[in-house]
Amino acid sequence: MADISGYTAFVSGTEHEHSREILAELIENIAKSFGGKLSVDQVEGDALCCTTERTDVEVADWLRETFATFHRRLRDMRAATTCPCNACRMIGNLGLKFIVHRGTYSRQTVAGVVQLHGADVNLVHRLLKNTVPLREYLLASRAALDAWPENARAGFVDAPQRYDLGDVPAAYCDLAPVRADALREERTVVTDAEAKLRMSRRYDATPDAVWQLMTDPAMRQRIMKVQRVSFEKGARGSLVGAEYHCEHGGDRTTVFRVIAAEKPREFTITVDFPFVERIYRTDRVSHEGAGTRVDTTVYWDEPKGLTGKLRSIAAERMMKKFFGDYDDRMDAMLREA
CATH (domain of 137): 3.30.70.1230
Closest among 242, 244, 203 to 226, alpha carbons compared: 244
Domain boundary (182, 207, 231) is at 182
pLDDT of residue 4: 94
In order of 91, 244, 300, 310, the CA distances from 183 in angstroms are: 15, 20, 18, 30
pLDDT of residue 194: 94
**Mean of all residue pLDDT scores within the chain:** 91
Element (H, E) at 97: strand 95-100
Q: Is residue 212 part of a domain?
A: yes
Cα separation of 113 and 2, whole Å? 20
Residues 285 and 244 in one domain: yes
Residues 76 and 35 in one domain: yes
Residues 143 and 216 in one domain: no
Pair 291, 202: CB distance under 8 Å: yes
Q: Is residue 188 part of a domain?
A: no
Question: What total number of domains does the chain contain?
Answer: 2
Q: Which CATH number goes with the domain that contains 293?
A: 3.30.530.20
Pair 166, 126: CB distance under 8 Å: no
Residues 152 and 220 in one domain: no
Q: Is residue 300 part of a domain?
A: yes
Residues 205 and 172 in one domain: no
Residues 165 and 221 in one domain: no
Three-state secondary structure readout of 174-218: ECHHHHHHHCCCCCCCCCCCCCCEEEEEEECCCHHHHHHHHHCHH
According to DSSP, the residues that pair with 217 across neighbouring strands are none
Residues 210 and 329 in one domain: yes
Q: Give 57-69 pLDDT, tens digit per residue.
A: 999 999 999 999 9
Cα separation of 211 and 206, whole Å? 9
Q: What is the pTM of this model?
A: 0.81
CA dihedral sign, ordered 182, 187, 190, 194: negative
Residues 215 and 164 in one domain: no
Q: Is residue 192 part of a domain?
A: no
Residues 13 and 110 in one domain: yes
| pLDDT at residue 13 is higher than 80 | no
Q: Is residue 189 part of a domain?
A: no
Residue 266: strand, helix, or coil = strand
In order of 39, 43, 106, 114, 118, the CA distances from 111 in angstroms are: 21, 16, 16, 8, 18
The percentage of residues in the chain with a pLDDT greater than 90, rounded to a whole number, is 75
Average pLDDT over residues 175-191: 85
Residues 136 and 223 in one domain: no
pLDDT class of 187 with cuts at 50, 70, 90: low
Residues 150 and 229 in one domain: no
Residues 11 and 116 in one domain: yes
Rg for the chain (alpha carbons), in Å?
A: 24
Q: Give 239-277 pLDDT, tens digit per residue.
A: 999 999 999 988 889 999 999 999 999 999 999 999 999
Domain boundary (126, 152, 182) is at 182
pLDDT class of 112 with cuts at 50, 70, 90: confident
pLDDT of residue 145: 95
Q: Is residue 225 part of a domain?
A: yes
Residue 250 CA to chain centroid, in angstroms? Answer: 24
Cα separation of 31 and 54, whole Å? 17
Domain boundary (153, 182, 211) is at 182
Q: Is residue 217 part of a domain?
A: yes
| pLDDT at residue 14 is higher than 70 | no
Q: Is residue 191 part of a domain?
A: no
Q: Give 128-174 pLDDT, tens digit per residue.
A: 999 999 999 999 999 999 999 999 998 899 999 998 878 999 999 99
- Can you give the residue range of the structural domain that contains 78? 2-182
